[in-house]
Structure 1
Amino acid sequence: MPIQPQAAKYKPESPILSLGEKIGDPVHAADFPKAILRFRNDRWAEAVGLDHLNDDQWVQHFGRFQPLEGTLQQPLALRYHGHQFRVYNPDIGDGRGFLFAQLRDHAGRLLDLGTKGSGQTPYSRFGDGRLTLKGGVREILATEMLEALGVNSSKTFSLVETGEDLIRGDEPSPTRSSVLVRLSHSHIRIGTFQRIALEQNSELMTRLVDYCLTNLLQPAPEGVAPPIALMRQAVENTAELAASFMVAGFVHGVLNSDNINITGESFDYGPWRFTPHWEPGFTAAYFDQTGLYAFGRQAEAIHWDVAQLAVSLRLLCEAEPLIAELEHFPALYQDSLITHFFRRIGLTPGEREASLQFIESCVQAMAQTGTEIDRFFFDWRCGDPRSPARYAGEAWDKVRMEAAAFLPAGTRDHPYWTDDAPCSMHIEEVEALWSAIADRDDWEPLNQKVEAIRRMGEAHQPRLT
């Protein structure tokens, strides 16, 4: 998605209904004691034609969930299964969220408005269906930072504080509550296909494949079976996602198959972190005790998840062509790594092997010297490092020599590049921003940080896709 979306007229739709009643269950939002607007994403509201809403109307739709005109008239809690830390779980689904609306953006793409923390559903199990206010604030920070860094991410569209006291075992309780609305390029997950495959519902699987190719992806080329076309695009999209995480220094934390969108868009941010250093073993979730979803294992994890999509699509076709598509993942990942790495550093990629070698040299230099990821990209923008004394030594000499072979592709025209330090989002700042809200209800530091992140995004220029 572009950094600066363009204005658009409101274009509501509801093609999800074409999949029938087995794709999800009609539900109602919780009746919250309060509805206090804390964040509205005006630039993306403009991109989907909802910027005309005043704050009261906004809260009615995104805090009280009065239906939007022309789209779903009752929310749907979507059904899916998934592997969670590689253990199959058939007892999941939208447990604290639902699909609220579908609409087109400025580029004509079908987008979903989905919720997090909107109340209990048939899939809540023993959960309360709520979201902590801190969790909502963290999702704002994650999505804004990832968008600015060129990662294909859902957008935090709205955050409304709901006036309940929530009990949580992993943070001080009771804590404040919220409901979040995210703007996403679909909520169709790998886990959606897994559920249908387990139920052996080939008719619904065929319709789901067609829905994805018609509304979310590109149509199948002539002579290519629809499941193969879907698999091909899913592999391409998720390989890019994995590469963009690495270049951003981002650790999602919970890369279960129910958290992987068929479009390759990142979403649903829980224990995420940005790693300060290029540390392959860095984990985001305290419960990831084996490091399954560590920074350096994210490509492996996403590749494994996409393999589960191949298993599911065997309901419609033979395994061999699906496996052939899956085997393209490593090369596609490397290609995307080149694209995102060179975009962030502001250089033009060259020959493939030389480009990969340059990335490896940069990674080794960062690791050996303890240089922060954000500082490296900030200083080496366009290949000519600022503060050369900071980059003395053999490892950096190698980087300097190899960088000279690539032509600049970015610029340093934006005032951001004259700042003393890069815009980062490490855990200490996340906690400080939350403390200002928790201790004195001060939202200004968060608002200022969002503006700083967007300024950084402008300096990096729009996403390439």
Structure 2
Amino acid sequence: MTFNFDNSYARLPDHFYARVAPTPVTAPKLVRLNRELARQLNLDPDWLSSPEGVEVLAGNRIPSGSEPIAMAYAGHQFGQFVPQLGDGRAILLGEVVARDGVRRDIQLKGSGPTPFSRRGDGRAALGPVLREYLISEAMAAFGIPTTRSLAAVTTGETVIRERFLPGAVLTRVAASHVRIGTFQYFAVRRDGEGLRRLADYVIARHYPKAAEAEQPYRALLDAVVKAQAELVPQWLLVGFIHGVLNTDNTSIAGETIDYGPCAFMDAYDPETVFSSIDYHGRYSYGNQPQIVHWNLVRLAECLLPLFSDDQDKAVAMAQEAIDAYPEQFKSAYEAGLRRKLGLFTAQEDDLTLAQDLLTAMAKNGADFTLTFRALSDASADLAQDERARALFADPAVFDEWAKRWRERLAAEPQDAETRRKAMRAVNPMFIPRNHRVEAALAAAVDRKDYAPFEELLQVLTKPFEDQPEFAQYANPPEPHQRVLKTFCGT
């Protein structure tokens, strides 16, 4: 069995990373292998689930062609700049070219200390590993750009967090692990050559069309801005809250990366925060578009020396690129809201109609996911309004809005069933409900019972299907089941 590694990042200069091997663990045991993803990566799932394969997934065996490295980067964490962060508990084994022709990183997360660990143990606990597995695979099922989870293994060892916890290693797959913070690492050191090498690398790997532009580095910034402006609306449209949108957690490739205290809203409230360390709501649901915009400004600052030797000209170029973000975000978000409401054409007051619904949901404690799912069926059957009305503390508020919505639907050319199918394809029935996720993790961590994890994962891989046998997974939490805080795994 070979991975057919072709490790382009490891061919960059040595100061881009630290060469370090994973630290072996005592008794690795496979918890979950993503067999479908393995096949997409041209890997043999049967071999990966064998004792030899599990040794690789745990970091006990280095496969042929691997060049293990921990990547260097910096970052703004909750607005405070840290000039050196880096992979403190993750090691990049190498890169493979998947069946779709796209190059992807294979990384072990929780594989032991690196030169960037900053006194940390370099390990991961089982709960956060399973959380990332569940939520990243749910995001993939939603069709949202994301890192993926190839495997989760337990280590037979414990890690110390707020208590002793079983250790685990996640095998993560990404288009790359280059972040805005990677550019910041070179910029703060005034390493112009390193900055240029990194930019050239990202262009070649992710945005090759930028190389053909008159200003390739400006074209790179344009491409990253566009990728993020299209990614964030997709989060909002399923109620996702990243939780730690630091610049070191913002992917240059436009993927969702670094699932820590992430969570999904139940009742709609744009001020929703779950992360236990987000004391002031910096990364709340509704702040995410502005925070990503802020992060992109930090990237633009890094790229200024590559734009022009004339500082004023460089700043003007960067500002023009950054100023495109709000409109690009607005366009993508409004288009997504129209799809969720069954609107195939665009009219001037569509955003007002959508925002009025969201405001009514917030005031009435209506569940975000179930409201839009109910509208999907109500768009074709007036009798289905009752499902939506029941979600509002004051059903009359919904009735008033629904009258305007149906008047707007009457202007659409599609028949009712076509509209219903289209809406059900973008309005999921199932999301990773926080109380369900926590229950599955508790069963695994406290009782070594992985059945709830497996069942929840099964449900989340088909989020747009009704799955009547699992209907309970669509229900919002009872008051005593609500999860108010989520935690990082470090």
TM-score calculated relative to the size of structure 2 = 0.84
User: Over the residues paired in the alignment, what is the CA RMSD in angstroms?
Assistant: 2.5
Of residues 405, 424, 429, the one that matches 1:422 is 429
Of residues 76, 83, 98, the one that matches 2:76 is 83
**Equivalent residues of 1:338, 1:349 under 8 A apart:** no
Deviations 1:66-120 (A, max 9, x none): 33444xx331100000000111001311000021120112221111112211100
2:400 is aligned with 1:394: yes
- Name which of structure 1's ranges 190-199 and 43-52 shifts more when overlaid on structure 2: 43-52
Rounded to whole Å, the distance in 2 between the matches of 1:157 and 1:458 is 24
Of residues 319, 328, 342, the one that matches 2:315 is 319
Amino acid at match of 1:75: P
2:41 is aligned with 1:61: no
Rounded to whole Å, the distance in 2 between the matches of 1:267 and 1:410 is 33
Match of 2:477 in 1: none
Identity, % of aligned positions:
29
Match of 1:463 in 2: none
Distance change (3 Å), C-alpha of 1:224 and 1:354: farther
C-alpha displacement of 1:39: 1.1
Rounded to whole Å, the distance in 2 between the matches of 1:445 and 1:404 is 44
Rounded to whole Å, the distance in 1 between the matches of 2:78 and 2:260 is 15
Match of 1:6 in 2: none
C-alpha displacement of 1:217: 2.0
- Name which of structure 1's ranges 430-439 and 173-182 shifts more when overlaid on structure 2: 430-439
Match of 2:20 in 1: 27
Distance change (3 Å), C-alpha of 1:155 and 1:339: farther
Rounded to whole Å, the distance in 2 between the matches of 1:444 and 1:223 is 52
Rounded to whole Å, the distance in 1 between the matches of 2:133 and 2:220 is 30
Amino acid at match of 1:393: D
Q: Secondary structure at the match of 1:211?
A: helix
Matches within 5 A, 1:211-250: 211-220=201-210, 222-250=212-240
C-alpha displacement of 1:148: 1.9
Deviations 1:48-82 (A, max 9, x none): 11134421233122113533444xx3311000000
2:287 is aligned with 1:290: no
Rounded to whole Å, the distance in 2 between the matches of 1:357 and 1:228 is 35
Q: Secondary structure at the match of 1:255?
A: coil
Match of 1:367 in 2: 362
C-alpha displacement of 1:411: 5.7
Amino acid at match of 2:460: I
Match of 2:110 in 1: 117
Match of 1:332 in 2: 328
Distance change (3 Å), C-alpha of 1:203 and 1:349: farther
2:52 is aligned with 1:45: no
Deviations 1:360-396 (A, max 9, x none): 2332232233221110221122733662123342133
Matches within 5 A, 1:37-186: 37-54=30-47, 55-56=49-50, 57-64=52-59, 66-70=61-65, 73-169=66-162, 173-186=163-176
**Equivalent residues of 2:3, 2:64 under 8 A apart:** no
Unaligned runs of 5+ in 2: 308-313, 390-397, 468-490
Rounded to whole Å, the distance in 2 between the matches of 1:25 and 1:166 is 24
**Equivalent residues of 2:430, 2:464 under 8 A apart:** no
Higher helix share: 2
Deviations 1:259-281 (A, max 9, x none): 00001101111111101122111
Match of 2:395 in 1: none
Q: Secondary structure at the match of 1:393?
A: helix
**Equivalent residues of 1:159, 1:178 under 8 A apart:** yes
Q: Secondary structure at the match of 2:329?
A: helix
Unaligned runs of 5+ in 1: 1-8, 461-465
- Structure of larger gyration radius: 2
Q: Secondary structure at the match of 1:91?
A: coil
Rounded to whole Å, the distance in 1 between the matches of 2:372 and 2:143 is 14
Amino acid at match of 2:206: L
**Equivalent residues of 2:84, 2:185 under 8 A apart:** no
C-alpha displacement of 1:353: 3.7
Distance change (3 Å), C-alpha of 1:365 and 1:123: same
Rounded to whole Å, the distance in 2 between the matches of 1:207 and 1:455 is 41
- Name which of structure 1's ranges 105-114 and 267-276 shifts more when overlaid on structure 2: 105-114
Q: Secondary structure at the match of 1:219?
A: helix
**Equivalent residues of 1:97, 1:117 under 8 A apart:** yes
C-alpha displacement of 1:335: 1.6
Rounded to whole Å, the distance in 2 between the matches of 1:136 and 1:431 is 12
Amino acid at match of 2:373: F
Deviations 1:393-421 (A, max 9, x none): 2133333333444447666499x99xxx9
- Name which of structure 1's ranges 306-315 and 222-231 shifts more when overlaid on structure 2: 222-231
- Name which of structure 1's ranges 18-27 and 352-361 shifts more when overlaid on structure 2: 352-361
**Equivalent residues of 2:429, 2:464 under 8 A apart:** no
Amino acid at match of 2:79: R
Q: Secondary structure at the match of 1:177?
A: strand
Distance change (3 Å), C-alpha of 1:352 and 1:50: farther
Distance change (3 Å), C-alpha of 1:457 and 1:32: farther
**Equivalent residues of 1:75, 1:100 under 8 A apart:** yes
C-alpha displacement of 1:458: 6.7
Of residues 329, 344, 347, the one that matches 2:342 is 347
Distance change (3 Å), C-alpha of 1:186 and 1:223: closer
Of residues 434, 441, 445, the one that matches 1:438 is 445
Rounded to whole Å, the distance in 2 between the matches of 1:21 and 1:135 is 31
Equivalent pairs, count = 442
